[in-house]
Amino acid sequence: MTFRASVLTLYPDMFPGTLGASLAGRALEQGTWSIEARNIRDFATDRHRSVDDTPAGGGAGMVLRPDVLAAAIDSVADTRPMLALTPRGAPLTQARVRELSAGEGVILLCGRFEGFDERIFEGRPVEEVSIGDYVLSGGELAAMVILDACVRLLPGVMGAASSGEEESFETGLLEYPHYTRPVTWEGRTIPEVLRSGDHARIAAWRHERAVEDTRLRRPDLIERHGGVSQAPPSGARRRDTKAD
């Protein structure tokens, strides 16, 4: 089943953008997923193709009109979830990304100016999502972030199905640190345990480091998941981890 993405934006030429390169780009060429960018301005009804107006109650900036947004949404609406990219939305999580990637696709609504008329969230089943506590010029880059996060989880995109299982946030922890050759670089040596070939020790070390790094860097994750998330995996990925 092809994962279908529809993006409603004032700047359709921005897509696929970076999504046309690397893993997402190859998957796009192979038909693993598809993307359609529609111009919100095409749904304006006046001769000036107006999509915004001044804020009710006064204030700076302009607000996207609900009638134009609704017409754009209705043109692509189906059973796929609809997400509006806004700093007022719920923080995006890896768990939500996995849910989205397991479905048939997603519809993304990209904001501009001062944002959306609030009535669009009352009149249409649109989920508000934020990718972080900062403000962008528009929702297009945020939409690309969500699509990249989803596409990389589609079957076959990353190669081995286990490639994404031990990454940051999958278990509520940050990922453990990684090393590769050369064994010694500028006097710094790969930890001995990673050169031991002992998969049980390696798994335990990785879990301990994941917990330690999460406590130091993201204590909010520890609190959110009620302490240490999971025990170390019963067996590390079966491959030779011994560095020469």
Domain of 125: which CATH number?
3.40.1280.10
- Judge whether residue 47 has pLDDT over 50: yes
Same domain as 108, residue 204: no
Chain segment 59-104, per-residue pLDDT in tens = 999 999 999 999 999 999 999 999 999 999 999 999 999 999 999 9
Chain segment 155-193, per-residue pLDDT in tens = 999 975 545 565 656 778 899 999 999 999 999 999 999
Same domain as 191, residue 102: no
- Ramachandran assignment for 152, one of left (phi > 0), alpha (psi -120 to 50 degrees), beta (any other): alpha
Q: Which residue segment(s) compose the domain that 142 sits in? A: 3-151
pLDDT value of position 166: 56
- Judge whether residue 217 has pLDDT over 50: yes
Q: How many angstroms separate the CA atoms of 26 and 190, rounded?
A: 34
Same domain as 173, residue 144: no
How many angstroms from the chain centroid is the CA of residue 185?
34
pLDDT value of position 22: 96
Q: Does a structural domain hold residue 9?
A: yes
In this prediction the pTM is 0.85
Same domain as 126, residue 29: yes
pLDDT confidence band for 39 (50 / 70 / 90): very high
Q: Does a structural domain hold residue 242?
A: no
pLDDT confidence band for 236 (50 / 70 / 90): very low
Same domain as 104, residue 15: yes
Q: Does a structural domain hold residue 106?
A: yes
Chain segment 103-161, per-residue pLDDT in tens = 999 999 999 999 999 999 999 999 999 999 999 999 999 999 999 999 999 999 997 55
Domain finish residue from 151, 182, 214: 151
Q: Does a structural domain hold residue 240?
A: no
Q: How many angstroms separate the CA atoms of 24 and 18, rounded?
A: 8
Q: How many angstroms separate the CA atoms of 156 and 39, rounded?
A: 31
pLDDT value of position 244: 42
- Judge whether residue 238 has pLDDT over 50: no
Same domain as 96, residue 42: yes
The reply to whether omega before 66 is within 30° of 0 (cis) is no
Residue type, 166: E
pLDDT value of position 1: 83
Same domain as 131, residue 74: yes
- Judge whether residue 31 has pLDDT over 50: yes
Query: Which H or E run contains 227?
Result: none
User: In sequence order, which residues have a C-beta less than 8 Å from that of residue 94 and are 6 or more positions away?
Assistant: 149, 167, 168, 169, 170
pLDDT value of position 159: 75
Q: Does a structural domain hold residue 95?
A: yes
If one counts the domains in the chain, the total is 2
Q: Does a structural domain hold residue 90?
A: yes
Same domain as 138, residue 42: yes
Same domain as 131, residue 16: yes
Same domain as 144, residue 172: no
Same domain as 204, residue 140: no
- Judge whether residue 53 has pLDDT over 50: yes
Q: Does a structural domain hold residue 241?
A: no
**The CATH number of the domain where 201 resides is what?**
1.10.1270.20
Same domain as 138, residue 64: yes
Q: Does a structural domain hold residue 158?
A: no
Beta strand 105-110 with 184-185 is unpaired
- Judge whether residue 20 has pLDDT over 80: yes
Q: How many angstroms separate the CA atoms of 115 and 185, rounded?
A: 49
pLDDT value of position 232: 57
